[in-house]
Structure 1
Amino acid sequence: MNKTSTPPEIALRPQLDLFPGFISDQTLALLAPIIAYWTFSTFFYLLDEMDLFAKYRIHPPAEVASRNKCSKLEVFRAVVLQHILQTATGLLLNKFEPAQMTGHESYELWKISMRLNVSPAVAQAIYYLIMPAFRLFMGFFILDTWQYMLHRAMHMNKFLYKHFHSVHHRLYVPYAFGALYNSLVEGFLLDTVGAGLGYLLTGMSTRESIVFYTFSTLKTVDDHCGYDLPWDPLQILFPNKSVYHDIHHQSFGIKTNFSQPFFIHWDEIFNTKYKDTNNYIQEQKRQRKQRYEEYLKKEHKKTK
């Protein structure tokens, strides 16, 4: 595209779906997060069942059964119900969504090039990379803000905690597929509405929403996975990680570390970050190392 002072014509037409004839982009935006949730959860479930990467497990397996106040079947049912409600809400809202259009991109690129006095190549980088990344980041920020405020309110208000949020805290030892184990009311308000606001307020396209919803789901699962994996990119990129959120699930930290799922700035701003977070993380590493060394000794004795 050559730089010119004459704006290109806009010829709008419906945008083809990513998988035309198979599934619409709007439906994919609803299904992709659910597929991601159960696929990623299955990965961590297999780690548990096959006893892999035991030295990175935050809590020993015995604590899952002894400390949690709900069965895995209860958790599974509750998450399935939430996914049904989430999907039904999305299908309803899709009926009011305008069709995604294309044919305006050349004009938008020209406008960026003229307003910022940049080359067409730079305009393309801004339009196709920087602007979508910014919308995605703002979606993260909005979701974090919504979830922090509502999550904190559900702990501070006895009625909200007793009737809604206490369900999630039956999991003292979180595991991956329990990430969305909530009461239906909380799940709808915290996750469905929170993600919806991130999408609407940033003006994301449907395809951008697929990335936003799916990535947010993966991050939520990872926060509850029960593993402190040093090579996990989600735990490397974001300060809000599995060990940080694990503190919130313990009795001593239940009134702290409300932030989720990406950043921890609201905890720091409102002074709700657990005071000994860093010490807890180091102590967890020490305990994991000790447990793993004891595990190796037992295995060594078995082979003799």
Structure 2
Amino acid sequence: MSTTILQAINGDIPPEIKLKSRDPLMSGIPDGILAIIAPVIAYWSYSTVFHLVDVYELAEKYRIHPSEEEQLRNKVPLHRVVQDVIVQHIIQIIAASILYLFEPVPVTGDELYHMWTWKQFLPWLPASLIYYGYNYGVSIIKFLVAIFIVDTWQYWLHKTMHQHPKLYRWFHSRHHQLYVPYAYGALFNNPVEGFLLDTLGTGIAALVTGLSQREATFMYVFATMKTIDDHCGYAFPWDPFQIIFPNNSVYHDIHHQNWGIKSNFSQPFFIIWDKINGTEYHFIEEYKKTQKQITFKKYREFLDNKQKKKQ
């Protein structure tokens, strides 16, 4: 932040507005297009990382379920999961592209004027605080409101799918063919449910909060990666998503089990609606301890087998 900017914010005369098209964040790719393709790229890239961890057995110590359990209990093969996710991404890209056609071209050149206006209403506020509040604080607030909207939208729609047998059978039962979740299956849904739950939910959150194309890109990518992490099948002690958010891979894994399917409807960020409505599974800590014991036992077997192969 330069002295010139501070002087303009503190000045008696409003800064001149000189609007022009904003340069894209990535050269050659409009911000609106980036918002469409970035979450798709993030999905396949982040999921592939977990897939490689699975294939090469790089983190057996942190598996929630043994690998053989994944193969025995899941009712759908990997290629079918990948096909369905591709369909959902095609629908997502089409819907986002239609919305992009009606979005105004991003412009810049009026930021100093708006910061100066803030200063007129809040003369006691330091110009530096106004600068950071305008450029970063507003975006953070909009992001937090947006993820609350996403949580609210997904909780009630998700819960409704479970409470009405026909809706569950027609739509949501497909996702629950994965009793042992893994990363590629994060968006394994019926296309109608995928559109309503994920595409429409995040789109409404972006529109209601007035996210810019760049802010929307960050929110879409963040939500995508969080959803993948919830389905990754691992309980990592150093994973930021699993540390910050109580709604993590273990919490959501409970919902995929036969005995936990009527609980833990919250997704993808916080568990406030589960707590308010009493739908949180009451024995989460006991489940974590049990799974750790199973994982530890299987991990010892994995190490023993690995040692035998070397010998």
User: Is the pair's TM-score, using the shorter chain for normalization, greater than 0.5?
Assistant: yes
Contact 1:5 1:114 in 2 (8 A): no
Q: Does 1:148 align with 2:155?
A: yes
Q: Report the Cα distance in structure 2 between the residues aligned to 1:164 and 1:204, rounded to whole angstroms.
A: 30
Name the counterpart of 2:227.
220
Query: Which residue identity lines up with residue 9 of structure 1 in the other structure?
Result: E
Matched residue type, 2:51: Y
For 1:108 and 1:54, locate their aligned partners in 2 and report how far apart those are by CA, in whole Å: 53
Please say if 1:271 is aligned against 2:273.
Answer: no
Deviation at 1:295, TM superposition (A): 2.0
The whole-number CA distance in structure 2 between the counterparts of 1:298 and 1:43 is 24
Letter in 2 for 1:223: D
* Matched position secondary structure for 2:233: coil
- Corresponding residue for residue 16 of structure 1: 23
Q: 2:48 matched to 1:38?
A: no
Distance 2:97 2:181 in 1: 30
| C-alpha separation in 2, matches of 1:133 and 1:5 | 29
Alignment pair present for 1:66 and 2:72 = yes
What does residue range 175-186 of structure 1 map to in structure 2 within 5 Å?
175-186=182-193
Paired with 2:249 and 2:283, the residues of 1 have a C-alpha distance of 16
Match of 1:99 among 105, 127, 132: 105
Match in the other structure for 2:138: 131
RMSD: 1.1
The alignment's TM-score, normalised by the length of structure 2, stands at 0.95
- Does the Cα contact within 8 Å between 1:68 and 1:171 map onto a contact in 2? yes
Q: After the TM superposition, which of the residue ranges 44-53 and 289-298 deviates more from structure 2?
A: 289-298
Residues in 1 aligned to 2:66 and 2:121: alpha-carbon distance in whole angstroms: 58
Alpha-carbon shift at residue 115 of structure 1 (Å): 2.0
Cα deviations by residue, 1:18-62 (Å, 9 ceiling, x for unpaired)? 124x21111100100000000000000000000011010111111
Amino acid at match of 1:7: P
Q: Distance in 2 between matches of 1:147 and 1:84?
A: 21
Structure 1 residue 232 corresponds to structure 2 residue 239? yes
Are the aligned partners of 1:179 and 1:221 in contact in 2 as well (CA < 8 Å)? yes
Contact 1:258–1:272, Cα closer than 8 Å, also in 2: yes
Q: Whole-Å Cα distance in 2 between the matches of residues 237 and 7 of structure 1?
A: 42
Q: Which amino acid aligns with 1:37?
A: Y
Distance in 2, Cα, partners of 1:125 & 1:105: 12
* Pairwise CA distance, 1:239: 0.9
- Residue 90 (1) aligns with residue 104 (2): no
Measured in 1, the distance between the counterparts of 2:118 and 2:66 equals 55
Deviation, 1:293, is: 1.8
The one-letter code of the counterpart of 1:64 is E
Report the secondary structure of 1:201's partner residue: helix
Name whichever of 96-105 and 6-15 sits farther off: 6-15
In structure 1, the partner of 2:268 is 261
Q: Give distance in 1, aligned partners of 2:12 and 2:189.
A: 55
Provide the C-alpha distance between the structure 2 equivalents of 1:188 and 1:160, rounded to a whole number of angstroms: 15
Question: Once structures 1 and 2 are overlaid, which stretch shifts more, 89-98 or 292-301?
Answer: 292-301
Measured against aligned partners, the alpha-carbon deviations of 1:211-245 in whole angstroms (never above 9, x if no partner) come to 00000000000000000011111111111100000
Task: Report if aligned partners of 1:56, 1:229 keep a CA contact under 8 Å in 2.
Answer: yes
Specify which of 205, 216, 233 is matched with residue 209 of structure 1.
216
Alignment check: 8 A CA contact 1:219 1:234 kept: yes
Mark the runs of 5 or more structure 2 residues left unpaired by the alignment.
1-5
1:195 pairs with 2:202: yes
Letter in 2 for 1:288: T
C-alpha distance in 2 between matches for 1:112 and 1:69: 57
Q: Deviations over 1:128-157 (max 9, x none)?
A: 121111111111111001000100000001
- Rounded Cα–Cα distance in structure 2 between residues aligned with 1:204 and 1:23: 19
1:35-92 Cα shifts (integer Å, max 9, x gaps): 0000000000000000011010111111122111111010000000000000011111
State the one-letter code of the partner of 1:79: V
How far apart, in 1, do the equivalents of 2:144 and 2:301 lie? Answer: 43
1:101 & 1:225 partners in 2: Cα distance? Answer: 39
Q: Distance in 2 between matches of 1:91 and 1:160?
A: 28
Report the equivalent of 1:108: 114
Deviation at residue 279 of structure 1 after TM alignment:
1.1
Matched residue SS, 2:187: coil
Distance 1:248 1:168 in 2: 11
- TM-score normalised by L of structure 1: 0.97
Q: Distance in 2 between matches of 1:178 and 1:19?
A: 30
Secondary structure, counterpart of 1:179 in structure 2: helix
